Amino acid sequence: MRRFLTTTALFAAVALGAAGADAKSLNWSFSSDVLTMDPFAHNNTFTQAFTNNIYEGLTRHNQKLEIEPALAESWSLVNPSVWRFKLRQGVKYHNGNVFDADDVVFSWERAQTPGALILGNISQIKDIRKVDASTVEIETKGPFPLLLSALTGFYIMDKEWAVANDAVASSNLQEKKENFANRNTNGTGPFKMRSREVDVKTVLEANAAWWDKPQHNLTEVTFTPIASAATRTSALLSGAIDATVAIPLQDIARVSADPKLQVLQGPELRTIYLGFDHFRDELLYSSVKGKNPFKDRRVREAFYRAIDVEAIKRSVMRGQSWPAGMMASPFLTGAPADLNDRLPYDQAKAKQLLTEAGYPDGFTVALSCPNDRYVYDEQICLAVISMLARVGVKVESQIEPVAKWGQRLNGMDLSFFMVGHAGLPAADTFATLAEVIAARGPGLGGLNAGRYDNPKINALIQQIAQESDEPKRRALIREALKLEKDDVAHIPLHQQPIVWAAKKGIDMQPAPDNRLRLWYVKVN
């Protein structure tokens, strides 16, 4: 009853707000809230996508994932390792402060503070220095052809505002240390934050002083997180919200049948995969004591072969997934399509491998999984648990809300886990290599929760980061991905679908990176 009353109150409040808004308002929803407003304190793609409407980088992606100038209006190479950026003049932060080179240098220094978890590869940046008020130089550790892509996720903050509000260092959410920037904002982007109630709603308003010419016609945007998929769909059908960037696949037909609504969908860049703890000598949450079964390739391959991704596509994903044979989506720049084949599903072979590895009766292990982050995440994990049981592996579920799951993932408090990666913000295969497969270290392996460490792959990643010849770079990428694939370091499952829905008359076409760029949205 309490849940019913809360939901009813939510619908009433949202509907009341919508009724009083003009035609240029938008009320949209997702399955979880933004984790933080501090642009440096997370490596969560939805949070970064949301805050990109408030904060900006020197460069940005458009709807086609092409690189465009943003806070930098132009750039040039001084030498293979030094880039010079001419900053856009006349740009102001939401509080009226003027943007200049000092802010870029400050943001780089802030990115080095404890707790900073910037999504995107900026590890190849050696230094950022001021030339004059409207010019900065970025020195990389070597030739780095993906710098412009990497900078799309490096948002610039106002030094003066941060100093005044004691937010010089990044919030450190892993240690539960937050500062003013965690709940307040001051960006240069097309929208500024009017109010925020964590897990309830966040209201943005158009930045009338934005430096760019708006393609949107929005004056006010309300974001309402609704964890329950059923409740979210009901809110859309009832008119309580205008749009959602997450509807369950089983609701597509129902929503499509409503003459007032439209469904927008397609393949996402994100690859959903299973990971292993490669690091510990004794596995956590397992019946095996004194050793780690996942250090044995035969065990990893047995798990891989025990999982039927076609059954998951058919029974869980309702046909709306693209089975993956490698860790990088074939839609990412640089991804070798010829590696996207999978090891065959083979329960008998899986049992044989477990027996050869010394586990003829299997063993017990826990699977960490979110229940509100990816499309059908909980159902996928339950299917995996059932499939592994058939080869003798008893999997205990650690299926948790995204906040708890995220803490476990970042704290590496796990043995076997499900996660997804989209190769963003660069939209390039290198991002997957650098963040998921590279050994953990300064600026690398930030999403390598299993602490996989392959020296040959690590060396290749360093080469890829500096290779400016595109055919050579792609050959190195293929070599690194093949080594990881042959090692069965992870179990790629599929690319999940983008499924958005909105009232007819709202133009909000999704990009392959599944980001809602509000500055493109129009309400007719």
Per-residue confidence (pLDDT) for residue 425, from 0 to 100: 67
Distance CA 317, CA 306 (A): 18
Per-residue confidence (pLDDT) for residue 124, from 0 to 100: 83
Is the confidence at residue 372, as pLDDT, over 90?
no
In tens, the pLDDT along 119-145 reads 556 888 999 999 999 999 999 988 888
Is the confidence at residue 486, as pLDDT, over 60?
yes
Per-residue confidence (pLDDT) for residue 7, from 0 to 100: 44
Amino acid at 392: G
Q: What rounded mean pLDDT belongs to the chain?
A: 92
The tokens for 111 are 């990115």
In tens, the pLDDT along 47-64 reads 999 999 999 999 999 888
In tens, the pLDDT along 33-52 reads 999 999 999 888 899 999 99
The helix-helix angle for 2-19 and 229-238 (nearest 10°) equals: 40
Residue ranges of domains in the chain: 31-189, 267-497
In tens, the pLDDT along 270-283 reads 999 999 999 999 99
In tens, the pLDDT along 495-514 reads 998 889 999 999 998 888 88
Mean pLDDT of the region 323-344: 94
Q: What is the 3-state secondary structure (H, E, C) of 206-265?
A: ECCCCCCCCCCCCCEEEECCCCCHHHHHHHHHHCCCCEECCCCHHHHHHHHCCCCEEEEE
Is the confidence at residue 466, as pLDDT, over 90?
no
The tokens for 122 are 């900026």
Compute CA distances 152 → 70, 84, 133, 184, 205, whole Å.
9, 16, 21, 21, 23
The tokens for 84 are 């010079």
Mean pLDDT of the region 395-409: 94
Q: Evaluate whether 365 touches 283 at the Cβ level (below 8 Å).
A: yes
216 φ, ψ to 5°?
Answer: -90, 170
Is the confidence at residue 195, as pLDDT, over 90?
yes
CATH architecture of 267-497: Roll (3.10)
Mean pLDDT of the region 148-164: 95
Per-residue confidence (pLDDT) for residue 45, from 0 to 100: 83
Distance CA 421, CA 403 (A): 17
Distance CA 183, CA 166 (A): 13
In tens, the pLDDT along 282-315 reads 999 999 999 999 999 999 999 999 999 999 999 9
Q: Evaluate whether 84 touches 76 at the Cβ level (below 8 Å).
A: yes
Higher pLDDT, 266 or 303: 303
Higher pLDDT, 75 or 117: 75
Distance CA 92, CA 419 (A): 38
In tens, the pLDDT along 447-461 reads 999 999 999 999 999
Is the confidence at residue 8, as pLDDT, over 70?
no
Helix (H, G, I), strand (E, B) or coil at 338: helix
Report the candidate in 300, 392, 286 with the shortest Cα–Cα distance to residue 348.
392
| CATH (one of 1.25.40.10, 1.20.1300.10, 3.30.43.10, 3.90.76.10) for 31-189 | 3.90.76.10
pTM of the model: 0.70
